[in-house]
Structure 1
């Protein structure tokens, strides 16, 4: 089923000083028609581009750009002032008109969402490779500044809500989120191909570390570090680690466990992370006691939230999932940040991704998990307290 025909442009009215208001309304209608034209032109070119493309218009829009039309309008309004006041040179389409803000945002979103080459993205919109490059970077620069409020550590009231939701899911009190990391794979020119960026799987990559809440919303990210690092080293290089170690983060009210022990605020992470007073990892070993196995099961349920968030991020914004061709390592962190901001904007606007864009595999498929051997004694005590708390809570519930 083909999409509907393009909207007809509003007819020009004869110029008449006595009909100034009518002329203004006509120009507005023409502008709106032009803004809508880019979508119908794009859809006509791409509606049969693959078996997964939805037939219904709104779902097709979400499939191609990852957001609903309502969220798309919100994003356009975020960056509109920047894209209008400081447009890059040469942004003229084949019809000789300056690209609308809506079309510029669509080009940038499609580039990030598809991960396709700039030539391919440009062909879908009737613009050149250089235009796609300029538009995408201007969009990223604007989003970095205008959308920052969508990614920040939550206020105390919100933290309490997160802890309540996570405890209801797992039975673990005072958990503030889950942490995980992924590799953004890239190719590098021979002149830049140093061992620093070559990771354990012989890929050139850049790390992204995220902390997520119960909604898979990013609360904190760290990126820009070489993939050769270990995950535990990445953690210790982060500002979040320094804040926690200095008592300025995860420093909320203590809770009391089922047997009267104190439980501080903490995160959950996989075995690649160290065991710290504020970072809980699962027990290792084949012969675990029933309480330890219960803790691991509850821990796994929470840690899976971060794993799924990264799989969703890479599935939605495929530029992070495909091998990036010779990216500017100084600009790549900005691209990663903006994809994370878009991830949060979708959640904050109660939007949902089209199910066909999700990754079917792990976000770091092909990478083996390395186990960190660092165990802090206070962290070990904290984990034991949580383990006993779960065990006693289950005994009480089963009576």
Structure 2
């Protein structure tokens, strides 16, 4: 037997372990300072850094706390509000995890776990905050009617791309969109106040907008008559349906031009909604640099947060030039080939009735006045 530092070494394995402990001593555990962001920043500074007001963040923290809170404060555990703020900071900057962790006084690995946990916790609230209550339908119809006197509309439909890093795997090119970068193609329907009442986030960037809608639950509900005579409006990338009204390709008469103008203006809220959503949470414009399995929860949680912000009447935060440049890049128009539409004559019945029975008399009344 040999002796080393007063310890008895019984074999080579023990000796090597002792040498490793001497040469590479365990670092003492340290806890970084975690600032109180609610008191550190003014209201405007807080909004700029987290994209939501203090009142809204406090409300969100209270709602999600039962889902994300630790059962003990041992090991200096993060509180629910600290975890929400860390996640919001990541959404607000699209930065790397290390930077988000440093801002909140935690390690990169902790930041990753917290962001994933909070994103999923908020996304699970989608049934409460992303929905179309029956009692709200009349108000939503009136809201759209007030824009351009388009009748029976309860939603504006469109898709937008959220940039991601290369997903790897066997078929990464499925995620490369027509603009050449990897993305998810996100479908959403909003009301006239820019609140999202339906969202689909599971399709790769190469998926066509019309194909996403064709396979969506909301389309099946319209087909089954769940929404009665109410309508959606969409752009020319979709096929015209009895319940989905798209613009005329080649309007010629004054009433057709009037119909197209009203349809386009009524559809405008979804374009504005996507703009506000990406300005409020720039990670959706700059790109999500996380594992592809985490993207859906982040996008849905951003939609939930957006709706809560609309509900609580938060101001839209200012953005920097980098975010604006990313938004402009994402908005470059690229011609879309509309897929084949079955029963074109039947699907055109409602649109033609709107033109002849509603917009034609409307135009005549204006002419008489």
TM-score (norm 1): 0.76
- 1:130 aligned residue: 109
Alignment of 1:1-399 (within 5 A): 37-40=36-39, 43=41, 57-86=42-71, 97-146=76-125, 148-155=127-134, 157-248=135-226, 250-251=227-228, 264-285=229-250, 288-325=252-289, 327-356=290-319, 359=324, 361=327, 364-372=330-338, 374-375=340-341, 376-388=344-356, 389-399=358-368
The C-alpha deviation readout for 1:36-84, integer Å capped at 9, x for no partner, is: 734455x5xxxxxxxxxxxxx2111111111111111101101222333
Q: In terms of mean alpha carbon deviation, does 216-225 or 75-84 score higher?
A: 75-84
Is the CA contact 1:35–1:102 (under 8 Å) kept in the aligned structure 2? no
- Equivalents in 1 of 2:299, 2:306: separation in Å? 11
Q: In terms of mean alpha carbon deviation, does 78-87 or 334-343 score higher?
A: 78-87
- Equivalents in 1 of 2:125, 2:248: separation in Å? 42
Superposed CA RMSD in Å reads 2.4
- 1:256 aligned residue: none
- 1:8 aligned residue: none
Aligned length: 330
1:122 match: secondary structure: helix
Q: Which structure 2 residue ranges, 5 or more long, are not aligned?
A: 1-32
- Equivalents in 2 of 1:297, 1:178: separation in Å? 15
Query: 1:117 Cα deviation (Å)?
Result: 0.9
Is the CA contact 1:178–1:302 (under 8 Å) kept in the aligned structure 2? yes
Query: 1:373 Cα deviation (Å)?
Result: 5.1
Is the CA contact 1:217–1:344 (under 8 Å) kept in the aligned structure 2? yes
Query: 1:193 Cα deviation (Å)?
Result: 4.6
- Equivalents in 1 of 2:51, 2:346: separation in Å? 44
2:124 match: secondary structure: helix
Query: 1:288 Cα deviation (Å)?
Result: 2.1
Could you say if the C-alpha distance between residues 189 and 359 of structure 1 is closer, same or farther in structure 2, counting changes exceeding 3 Å?
closer
Q: Which structure 1 residue ranges, 5 or more long, are not aligned?
A: 1-33, 44-56, 252-263
The C-alpha deviation readout for 1:19-52, integer Å capped at 9, x for no partner, is: xxxxxxxxxxxxxxx99734455x5xxxxxxxxx
Bigger radius of gyration among the two: 2
- Equivalents in 2 of 1:374, 1:348: separation in Å? 39
1:182 match: secondary structure: strand
- 1:31 aligned residue: none
Query: 1:314 Cα deviation (Å)?
Result: 1.4
Is the CA contact 1:62–1:353 (under 8 Å) kept in the aligned structure 2? no
Could you say if the C-alpha distance between residues 146 and 85 of structure 1 is closer, same or farther in structure 2, counting changes exceeding 3 Å?
farther
Is the CA contact 1:184–1:205 (under 8 Å) kept in the aligned structure 2? yes
1:210 match: secondary structure: strand
- Equivalents in 2 of 1:235, 1:86: separation in Å? 42
TM-score (norm 2): 0.82
- Equivalents in 1 of 2:121, 2:333: separation in Å? 34
Could you say if the C-alpha distance between residues 86 and 226 of structure 1 is closer, same or farther in structure 2, counting changes exceeding 3 Å?
farther
Is the CA contact 1:183–1:205 (under 8 Å) kept in the aligned structure 2? yes
